[in-house]
Amino acid sequence: MELRGKRIMVTGGEGFLGSRLVAQLRAADAEVFVARSSEYDLVQQQNVHELYRDSRPELVFHLAARVGGIGANQRNPGRFFYDNLQMGVHIIEEGRLAGISKVVVVATICAYPKFTPVPFAEKDLWNGYPEETNAPYGIAKKALLVMAQAYRQQYGLNTLVLFPVNLYGPGDNFDLEDSHVIPAMIRKCVESKLAREDSIVLWGDGSPTREFLYVDDCARALVLAAQHYDSSEAVNVGAGFEIKMRDLAELICELTEFEGKIIWDTARPNGQPRRMLDTTRARERFGFTATTSFKDGLKKTIAWYEENRGKSK
């Protein structure tokens, strides 16, 4: 698919990943319409109908979501399930009615079973129940994969569903109430260093592993998929490595120059034991490979937070 001059609608286009995607699409000379949540409530189908009417897109990227870390998922399981399911259902259905040529849906690694063999392969998506703390969110997103495949079979709607690993980078959410692990660790280290505190408290026991993908790399993957992929088979999008939480914490302490003690609060949940993706399909189907080294990405993220911390909650 040629992007130059293409009318493209992006939901979640003002968000962490969406803003990077919009920048890359505009750099490719696409005509981009950003669906703002203040103007269109995607949980309401009539609002989504009006969004398609106003934007008249040829290509749609659906990134809008209710998201957060373990704590946010525990506090809002019903809302995370309902809102994420409804938004995706309306985007795909109204896209069908509008005759859209392609819809790209961003799902989540939280859709995978709790005890998935590592590295996670797309064939294992249905081999068990997701980790309990984020199962409602993950199942809502995984249901959109079923819808995409059903709509391709019955209506010929070209819908892609991508499963990115945990994202990080400058501009991430650093609010400790609902942030993910990297921004939470960075904020705790930076704030504790400045306050001359001698320790930080982190959730769990430090044993789980996670994989992380720099946000600009993920945006590039979405563009490549839109250009070169035409299937409703799920595709993992990641960097192809894993790191233990205790090693991540020590690395962030080193990069932020926080010299205090790390205290692990084992009364708090660990989340899924291990997460790492098999990224073969993304490489083979549309040529995506992550290019940002993890340490460089962390340095950029820390520098952004240190410069903008007064603006964060």
Q: Which residues are catalytic?
A: 137
Distance CA 265, CA 32 (A): 45
Task: Give the Å distances, CA to CA, from 186 to 168, 210, 271.
Answer: 11, 16, 19
Task: List the beta bridge partners of residue 35.
Answer: 11
Distance of alpha carbon 1 from its chain centroid, rounded? 23
Q: Are 23 and 10 in contact (CB under 8 A)?
A: no
Which residues have a Cβ under 8 Å from the Cβ of 85 and sit 6 or more positions away?
A: 140, 143, 144
